[in-house]
């Protein structure tokens, strides 16, 4: 695994070479799935590496951009390994435990998805907060054709993302969506040429990075809290942020900018309300 200095080898293994990890900026890292021989299949080695990435991002929260090398995101789980797994392996929740951990990372996760994102590869993308697509995208869950269920999040995440009718078509009838269909369904937010996909992910990360990191973290946490936790979770998050130095600094900067902006009369200071002259006059009596 090619990493930055702060990303250790998981469990001391020496054969962890399924990912490329780049410290792209102080506020983000880029993780690229890269195993050409298996078309970026998610095997246990890749799972271990991704857990190592999560450990770093849980202790040092940053934006995570997930991408794939070799012209695709991930062709699915490693079928050779799946074929050998039994009941106890299923109960270990190898992939779902990882994908849940990724979904719960403190800062947003952006999946830059191109080519095939099937089975476990699709479920990894579903766990992200944002999905951006290349024009080559083909995404779906063909697991029942292999005699198994899409057991790493698709059976419930997909319904939340695209609605029940389309989710059933993907899960039960094996429908694979292209990029245009995925965007129409709201599964991805934008479509890009392959060479523009990662720059688009960085542009989105830049927009996120302009906000206060703690406010972003608490907004994500509140968003994913169960309905029964609201409004208490919102009040607690706001109470924390109301006392944060960033809140005072950012609000003071906003007020300073506003006070230095000329108002419609040419004077500096707080803008006066504008009187609209094109309002419809009151209707007179008959």
**Bigger pLDDT: 80 vs 281:** 80
Is residue 146's pLDDT more than 70?
yes
Task: Determine which one of 22, 58, 114, 143 is catalytic.
Answer: 143
Delineate the domains of the chain, giving CATH numbers in brackets: 10-209 (3.90.226.10), 213-259 (no CATH)
Task: Determine which one of 44, 49, 100, 123 is catalytic.
Answer: 123
CA–CA distance, 280 with 286 (Å, rounded to integer): 17
Is residue 134's pLDDT more than 80?
yes
Is residue 3's pLDDT more than 50?
no
What DSSP string runs through the chain?
-B--TT-PPGGG-S---SEEEEEEETTEEEEEE--GGGTT-B-HHHHHHHHHHHHHHHHS--EEEEEESTT-SB--B-HHHHHH--HHHHHHTHHHHHHHHHHT-SS-EEEEE-SEEETHHHHHHHTSSEEEEETT-EEE--GGGGTS--TTTHHHHHHHHH-HHHHHHHHHH---EEHHHHHHTTSSSEEE-HHHHHHHHHHHHHHHHTS-HHHHHHHHHHHHS-GGGTTHHHHHHHHHHHTSHHHHHHHHHHHHHHHTSB-TTS-BSSPPPPPPS-PPPPPPP-
Is residue 279's pLDDT more than 90?
no
Residue 235 annotated to the active site: no
User: Could you give the C-alpha distances from 63 to 25, 98, 206, 212, 219, in angstroms and in order?
Assistant: 10, 17, 10, 13, 14
Residue 143 annotated to the active site: yes
Span 45-66, average pLDDT: 97
At 269 the pLDDT is 53
**Bigger pLDDT: 213 vs 15:** 213
Question: What tokens does 81 get?
Answer: 């390994």
């Amino acid at each position: 695994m090619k990493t930055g200095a702060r990303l250790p080898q998981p469990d001391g293994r020496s054969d962890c070479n399924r990912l490329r990890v780049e410290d792209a900026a102080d506020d983000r890292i880029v993780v690229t799935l890269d195993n050409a021989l298996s078309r970026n299949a998610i095997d246990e080695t890749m799972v271990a590496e991704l857990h190592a990435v999560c450990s770093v991002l849980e202790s040092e929260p940053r934006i995570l951009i997930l991408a794939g090398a070799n012209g695709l995101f991930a062709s699915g789980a490693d079928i050779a390994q799946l074929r050998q797994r039994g009941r106890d392996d299923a109960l270990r929740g190898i992939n779902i435990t990882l994908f849940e951990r990724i979904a719960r990372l403190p800062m947003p996760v952006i999946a830059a998805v191109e080519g095939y994102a099937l089975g476990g590869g699709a479920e990894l993308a579903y766990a992200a907060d944002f999905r951006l697509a290349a024009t080559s995208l083909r995404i779906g869950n063909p697991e029942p054709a292999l005699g198994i269920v899409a057991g790493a999040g698709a059976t419930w995440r997909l319904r939340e993302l695209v609605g029940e009718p389309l989710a059933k078509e993907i899960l039960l009838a094996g429908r694979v969506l292209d990029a245009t269909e995925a965007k129409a369904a709201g599964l991805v937010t934008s479509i890009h040429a392959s060479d523009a996909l990662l720059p688009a992910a960085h542009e989105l990360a830049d927009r996120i990075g302009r906000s206060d990191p703690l406010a972003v973290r608490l907004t994500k946490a509140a968003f994913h809290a169960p309905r029964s936790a609201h409004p208490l979770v919102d009040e607690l998050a706001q109470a924390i942020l109301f006392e944060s130095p960033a809140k005072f600094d950012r609000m003071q900067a906003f007020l300073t900018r506003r006070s230095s902006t000329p108002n419609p009369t040419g004077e500096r200071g707080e803008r006066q309300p504008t009187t609209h002259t094109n309002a419809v006059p009151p209707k007179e009596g008959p």
